[in-house]
Amino acid sequence: MKKLISGIKPTGQLTLGNYIGAIKQFVKLQNEYESFIFVADLHAITTPQNKKQLQKLIKELVALYLACGLDSSKNTIYLQSENPYHAHLSWVLNCHTYLGELNRMTQFKDKAAKLKKEGIPAGLYTYPVLMASDILLYDADVVPVGDDQKQHVEITRRLAERFNNKYGSTFKIPDVIITSTGARIKDLQDPTKKMDKSSVSDKGVILMLDPIESIKQKIRRAVTDNDSIIKFDEKNKPGISNLINIYANLKDISIKETEEEFKKANYGDFKEAVANLVTEVLKPIQDKYHQIINSNIIDDILNQGIEKALPLAKAKCEYVSKKIGLGRP
Ligand code: TYM
């Protein structure tokens, strides 16, 4: 069976963007791939985090993975920080990464700009290398992510190719999987921006655990345009196009089918339909989440996950060390 790997950073409450771009794909693909889904807590600390809040977000993220339908018998679910081999391989790959490559990472530039006053951690700069290690450590065939992570999967491929050329075949070259309608869900108040769990204001961000009525309000208040036609046009109608993407994705239909369904509707009717669909999807997830969050199942699943991930990662790191000439002959 081919392998899949992906992770999410526990840096804030998960958004509808995280669900559509990532988790919904993990759930769908778990039947086709042997899946490794982790909590990227080492990546979380590349920007300042509050210790108590981080602990809470790690647990919430695992509960949400399960509530969304990740099956622990089909997925290895674990915490990145409990597996020291991610950081080990990251160091090795750091020694094979060029500064020029890291300088081109757009996410680094965006995040660094916000941290200018406090100082920019070196970990934020080498973030993509740790991500490459997460992926290459398990010989993943595919990496389902949202569009914002595509550049990081591309550098992963490049690092793997470079390493293979230098030391002989060592790493599998992974493919990215991005859904067409779910690649980049936008902020409802500023549809030129990604819907982001780290946004300062959550007015344009649907949190997966938001109260149902608040989700509906946010969608009803979504910024649109002065036109009244429900037509996909990201350049001229970014707000409506975003809502079309959300609707089409959650209903598993195409953009054309969505336009057809609402060709006689006005913006108010369309927003109501989007609000109903989003809450229909999120309500059962929320109910399940509340059953899981206070149970022991989270620890059991993380124990089971790390037990499976550790030996695989250890074996891969030993293999890599041998290839380079590290350690004792
Ligand atoms: P993170 O935590 O920022 O986001 C988790 C996943 O959600 C996707 N995503 C979105 N997709 C569509 N629309 C949006 N508005 C939206 N916002 C977020 C992201 O693309 C991502 O797939 N670096 C990663 C975590 C990571 C990882 C990995 C992923 C660490 N190591 C190895 C895959 C493989 C991150 O910060 O994701």
Whether residues 65 and 153 fall in one domain: yes
Please list the ranges in the chain whose pLDDT falls under 50: none
Whether residues 19 and 118 fall in one domain: yes
Whether residues 162 and 226 fall in one domain: no
* Cβ pair 63, 292 in contact under 8 A: yes
Residues marked active site are found at 111, 194, 197
Whether residues 315 and 280 fall in one domain: no
CB contact set of 158 (below 8 Å; sequence gap of 6+) = 101
Q: Whose CA is nearest to atom 27 of ligand 1?
A: 7
CB contact set of 43 (below 8 Å; sequence gap of 6+) = 7, 9, 80, 127, 130, 131
CATH number, domain with residue 231: 1.10.240.10
The domain in which residue 11 lies consists of: 3-178+295-324
The answer to whether residue 194 sits within a structural domain is no
Full-prediction pTM beyond 0.85? yes
Q: What is the pLDDT of residue 301?
A: 97
The answer to whether residue 268 sits within a structural domain is yes
Nearest in space to 158 (alpha carbons), one of 173, 139, 176: 173
Whether residues 58 and 86 fall in one domain: yes
The answer to whether residue 22 sits within a structural domain is yes
**What whole-number distance in Å separates Cα of residue 189 and Cα of residue 210?**
16
Q: What is the pLDDT of residue 96?
A: 98
235 Cα to the center of ligand 1, angstroms: 24
Whether residues 141 and 265 fall in one domain: no
pLDDT in tens, 156-206: 999 999 999 999 999 999 999 999 999 999 999 999 999 999 888 889 999
Amino acid at 245: N
Whether residues 266 and 312 fall in one domain: no
Whether residues 76 and 97 fall in one domain: yes
* Cβ pair 28, 73 in contact under 8 A: no
Nearest in space to 298 (alpha carbons), one of 57, 35, 86, 22: 57
147 Cα to the center of ligand 1, angstroms: 8
The tally of domains found in the chain comes to: 2
CATH number, domain with residue 33: 3.40.50.620
The answer to whether residue 195 sits within a structural domain is no
pLDDT in tens, 88-120: 999 999 999 999 999 999 999 999 999 888 899
Q: Who lines ligand 1 at CB under 6 A?
A: 5-9, 17-18, 20-22, 40, 43, 131, 134-135, 143, 145-146, 148-149, 182, 184-185, 194-195
**What whole-number distance in Å separates Cα of residue 283 and Cα of residue 189?**
23
Q: What is the pLDDT of residue 199?
A: 84
